[in-house]
Chains A and B, each alone.
Chain A
Amino acid sequence: MATVPPNFPEIKQEQLKPYLHDSIVVPDELQGNVLITTLDKVYNWSRKSSMWPLLFGLACCAIEMIATAASRYDLARFGMEVMRPSPRQSDLMIVSGTVTKKMVPAIVRIYNQMAEPRYVLAMGACATGGGPFKEGYNVVSGIDKYIPVDVYVPGCPPTPEALIYGLLKVHEKVERQSILTVPWYRKDQSEFVPVPRLGADIFDPRQVELIKETTMKKPVEASAATTGGGDAAAHAAGPKAVSGKAKSRMEEAKRRAAAKRAG
């Protein structure tokens, strides 16, 4: 039994129904010449069809990003072959590779310089969550600790096919947005992400109070400060301070483990 193919125009008409106004009546003789659609659709179609990525490579994933743009995978099919080195001219930041503490201030600054609408795609395991280098002392465990990310592409490195899939997901996200609700036409919606600073270790200016609570709690120990005692303060205070998010995650994990044992 071959399944009957759904009647595509009818389904499309059904989807468009809420947007079609009764007041617009297209005469029969113009039916072939006039298209009626929504502003959102045109707006989003044009945005997604000429989305320019930032020419920005961090590590190994950048090689696969170049391969994606090269002749075999041909990113030009999606209107994305124009990579702009300037953040002012680009719409999409592909964070392709390991984000290190030394690099993250530059990345946040570049992100702040991008004009809205802007999107961020975290490519690969490192940009998503630190990847194989997560435990390293100079590695940021995921760029989403600092800037908002729209799409994550797993892999180490992701193949060009995976990257293209992720880029199409960005396109889908663009298509779902409405000009009425997007933040960049609203007042006081966009904020700069504070640029993290490199002190004794990297710190987020928003977390200064939190850091001071830990480091200033104990009397100053000269030995810990001078002889590479990088662990001293953090590990002393570490396990006690557990955030709410972490608690819920741990509880969920325990529940899952219990369910697994029971089932």
Chain B
Amino acid sequence: MSATLVAEAPDQTQTGTLADVLPGVLGTTSDDTDKAYLVAADKILDALAYLRDKEGYDFLSSVTCVDYQGYNGKQRKGISERFDVVYHLYSTKKGGGHVVLHAPIPSNDTIASATSLFPGANLQEREVYDLYGIKFEGHPNLRRILLWDGFNGHPMRKDWKEAYFDEDSKPFRSRHPKGSYEFHEDKLPWGKNATYPAGWDPDTWQAPVAYVPVSQAPKHLGEAHLDTESIVVNLGPHHPSTHGVFRMLTRIEGETILALEPEMGYLHRNHEKIGERNTYLMNMPFTDRLDYLNSMSNNWGYALAVEKLTGIEVPERAEYIRVIMAEFTRFVNHTWSIGFILNDLGALQTPALYAIEEREMILDLFEEVSGARLMCNYLRFGGVVRDLTAGWLTKARYLANDRLPRALDELDRMLTDNEILMARGRGVGYLPAEDLISLSVSGPMIRAAGVAYDIRKAEPYGVYDRFDFEIPTLPHSDIYDRYYIRLLEARQSVRILQQALADIPGGETVGFGDYASATLSQGFGSIMGGKGGYNLRPPEGEAYARVESPKGELGFYIASDGKPNPWRYHVRSPCYINLNALGPMSVGYKLADAVVILGAIDIVLGEVDR
């Protein structure tokens, strides 16, 4: 069964030595597609420090947790405890693959916090605490993040059942009992999606004290600074500047920000809990709704992870189609983001209207092949769901060769030398590159700080190694550079598009060249050794795959127990983790700048909260 596994594991020489020298190592997980080191929970900081200082793994990409209770009726090989915190580390200097650490959590659900080594673990550890109840010792601010204080239980635990609970895995047998249908609302006395613990009395219940950020006086305000009273100002969750439902708690003195805390979860749609109930294929349309501006990139990240887990091959034409779709998406995202940075600067609507003009044409192309403008749901494991339509390439070439470069030129002409953009953007929101990397920030944010780190070059996926393109970098790490880097990246996207549209195998001919692998067209059963079937059953193991989404590193972590539903399905969301930098970047600047600093991070709340 596991002969089909294709491991894209770190190279063997390195791992061979690592297992010997890594502090606290208990062993490796041998049955996995992604090779992982088991590390004792009390030695985890030593292991992380070793990897960071000695091996150059300076980027803590993902921290998550897996609950192994009831796993396949038995324990997973090598893992003895119920909870298992998983760390994925990369190197921004060397590029290449990852190192995975598994830390089995002892029965008191406590592990040391990695925030002292990698401040970027901050939000992710809070998420793990919120959803799994793992306590991170030494974390500066361990509160619930996606749910609210006082919520009953930790919902991602396997024994926690939601109010509308049907069964553990789809497809549900109980959907149409006796030929009729029942609404979940009707089964609960209060007719709403809510569940209360026994003995909970809403009359005597007291709301927890609301959190207010404490003052963290910035360095440039010295002792001699006039001591005035600071106040707490709340922005959001309904605020036009927050790009959705996001909340910023700020402590300001005059107009200067002393502390800023992001508050999120207002769009927490339980993506991961639903994802564990879904079958593998069912999750594909849900990934569309993560970062809803870039459904194609999200599809690709998820498809890559499952393909890595199962070893499905992707035909050449499909790889080119994926590149084309992803680069169109990047163009859409970057122009959108440029338009809305200007919106946040007070140039209400006009630049945005110019910036998103071409977007409609690209959406028309997406609609033509996938049937939907936004939620394309176009990629599949082993290809794409259907071939390009007749004449599609002609239209796409017109856009890539003619229309899109002109649109970028226009934006460049209008905005790049704009006095207001310079005055508001230059030097605002500065954070040095090493701070950004330690905060796990990825994507255009670090490239605007001079770090030429792009997954398309550092660890090429798909057919990106065939194209001639550059990674633009800018040195200043301020709002202006974060605007301009998006323009430069959109130009590189156009460049990749022109090459991909010229070289695509099969060309205009519809039906010539495979757009999907044989396994996809025959049903997934064929790769599992059985008969053809609709449901994919990857072999037992785990995989983490990442793509360079327009926002940064989008990763999918999937652990499979060999059944049609993923045991663990985790999204490493670039928007969410980039928000680590929001507080440090905003402190010391004016409140009005915080709005633009947030805008220049370019978040989408669907991906932040998932």
Contact = CB atoms under 8 A, between A and B. Distances in A.
A87 to B, nearest CB: 8
A78 interface: no
14 contacts: A60-B292, A97-B267, A110-B238, A132-B289, A136-B273, A137-B193, A138-B155, A138-B270, A141-B184, A200-B196, A214-B196, A215-B198, A220-B199, A233-B198
Interface residues on A, range: 35 or more
Interface of B: 133, 146-148, 150-155, 157, 159-166, 178-203, 205, 207, 237-240, 244-245, 265-270, 273-274, 277, 285-286, 289, 292-293, 352-353, 356-357, 359-360, 373-375, 605-606, 609
A257 B606 CA distance: 39
Question: Which of A137, A229, A241, A257: most chain B CB closer than 10 A?
Answer: A137
Would you list the 8 A-B pairs with minimal beta carbon distance, nearest first?
A136-B270, A246-B186, A228-B153, A220-B199, A231-B161, A60-B292, A253-B180, A200-B152
A214 B189 contact: yes
A198 B147 CA distance: 10
Given A231-B161, A238-B189, 11 more contacts: A60-B374, A103-B267, A136-B193, A141-B164, A201-B163, A207-B190, A211-B190, A225-B198, A231-B165, A237-B189, A250-B182
Contacts of B184: 134-135, 141
A241 B180 CA distance: 18
B269 A63 contact: no
Contact of B197 (A58, A72, A101, A224): A224
B200 A67 contact: no
Contacts of B146: 138
A262 B201 CA distance: 49
A118 interface: no
A121 B277 CA distance: 31
Nearest to B243: A57
Contacts of A62: 244
Contact of A59 (B237, B292, B360): B292
A100 interface: yes
B240 A98 contact: no
Contacts, number: 270
B183 A59 contact: no
Contact of A135 (B203, B205, B274, B360): B274
A100 B193 contact: no
A173 interface: no
Interface in A143-193: 145, 156-157, 159
Nearest to B240: A85
B161 A235 contact: yes
Contact of B268 (A56, A138, A221): A138
Contacts of A202: 192, 194
B371 to A, nearest CB: 11
A212 B197 contact: no
A69 to B, nearest CB: 8
Contacts of A245: 186
Nearest to B195: A234
Nearest to A71: B353
A218 interface: yes
